[in-house]
């Protein structure tokens, strides 16, 4: 479990995130939504250890985040950032193997090779293994990075949950692969020791797939809970300044805007 307590982050006199206390449970898909500038990416960077909070604490299971070494943290949490640039002409298999770097020193072991192969198969990119990464389309590159970060936490870790943190992972994907990826996350979560936290902009995808939605507005928590509890007319109007129209089916509520 990841748990934050009174988490805040400021740059100079500007507060980006204020007093966020939230928990992310294993076996659930947690999606973070909110308008531009709400603090979504900042929260992701804080809980993944990329930046340091101005105030508050972050726990990974029973340990405070700042007490974990970089190596310890890299073995239990993987992060997909918004902007990923590789300047070297690596093969796709080599890019995926980068996810296993925290788990070996000189050269990968058989289990590292196996993790990468299985992760590539899981995200349907094994056919690209010998391609030059630089020649791929934007969507193909994104899918390769899905395999990379998932390979990083492919095996269960004793006494720890595994944490997959995704900042706008649907960038560059067409509609088919957006749905494909979300279904793959649901499949991963059948392993009950995995926590998935992701930032998305599509409210309908959040409504369809999330177990828990965190809605941020102006650096604060506006709502947190199930899709039905969070995606209300009042919350959406306050956060996005738009009037939502709801269409409900037996399984999902869809949102439209006038």
Predicted confidence at residue 142, as pLDDT, reads: 95
Q: What is the mean pLDDT of the chain?
A: 94
Which distant-in-sequence residues (6+ apart) come within 8 Å of 190 by Cβ? none
Distance from C-alpha of 215 to C-alpha of 209, rounded to nearest angstrom: 15
Tell whether the torsion through CA atoms of 170, 173, 174 and 177 is positive or negative: negative
pLDDT exceeding 70 applies to what percent of the chain?
A: 100
Banded pLDDT at 192 (limits 50, 70, 90): very high
Q: Give phi and psi for 199, each to the nearest 5.
A: -95, 125
Pick the closest to residue 153 from 189, 107, 207 (CA basis): 189
Given this model, what pLDDT does residue 255 score? Answer: 82
H, E, C per residue of 154-218: CCCECCECEEEEEECCCCCCCHHHHHHHHHHHHHHCCCCCEEEEEECCCHHHHHHHCCEEEEEEC
Record the pTM: 0.94
CA distance 16 to 8: 8
pLDDT at 85 over 90: no
Q: List the end-to-end C-alpha distance of the chain, in Å, as a whole number.
A: 39
107-116, 157-166, 224-233, 239-248: segment of lowest average pLDDT: 239-248
pLDDT at site 161: 94
8-state DSSP, 132: B
Asked if the model's pLDDT at residue 186 lies above 80, the reply is: yes
Contacts of 67 (CB under 8 A, 6+ apart): none
Tokens of 139: 């969507």
> Residues 137-146: what's their mean pLDDT?
95
Give the mean model confidence (pLDDT) for residues 96-122.
Answer: 96
pLDDT at 36 over 90: yes
| Residue 76 three-state SS | helix
Q: Among 204, 210, 201, which Cα is nearest to 240's?
A: 201
Domains of the chain listed by start with CATH number: 2-257 (3.40.50.300)
What pLDDT does 251 receive?
74
Predicted confidence (pLDDT) at residue 96 exceeds the cutoff of 90: yes
């Amino acid at each position: 479990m990841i748990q934050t307590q009174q988490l805040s982050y400021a740059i100079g006199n500007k507060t980006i995130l204020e007093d966020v206390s939230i928990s992310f449970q294993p076996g659930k898909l947690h999606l973070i939504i909110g308008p531009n500038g709400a603090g979504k990416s900042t929260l992701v960077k804080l809980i993944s250890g990329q930046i340091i909070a101005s105030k508050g604490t972050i726990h990974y299971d029973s340990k405070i985040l700042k007490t974990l070494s970089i190596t310890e943290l890299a073995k239990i949490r993987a992060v997909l950032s918004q902007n990923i640039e590789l300047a070297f002409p690596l093969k796709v298999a080599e890019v995926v193997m980068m996810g296993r770097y925290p788990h070996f020193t000189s050269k990968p072991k058989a289990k590292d090779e196996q993790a990468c192969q299985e992760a590539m198969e899981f995200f349907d990119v094994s056919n690209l293994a010998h391609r030059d990464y630089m020649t791929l389309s934007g969507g193909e590159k994104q899918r390769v990075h899905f395999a990379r970060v998932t390979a990083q936490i492919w095996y269960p870790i004793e006494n720890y949950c595994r944490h997959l943190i995704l900042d706008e992972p649907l960038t560059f994907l067409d509609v088919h692969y957006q749905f494909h990826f979300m279904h793959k996350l649901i499949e991963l979560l059948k392993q009950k020791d995995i926590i998935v936290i992701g930032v998305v902009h599509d409210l309908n995808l959040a409504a369809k797939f999330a177990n828990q939605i965190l809605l941020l507005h102006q650096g604060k928590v506006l709502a947190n809970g199930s899709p039905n509890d969070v995606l209300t007319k009042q919350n959406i109007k306050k956060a996005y300044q738009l009037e939502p129209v709801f269409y409900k089916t037996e399984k999902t509520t869809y949102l439209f805007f006038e």
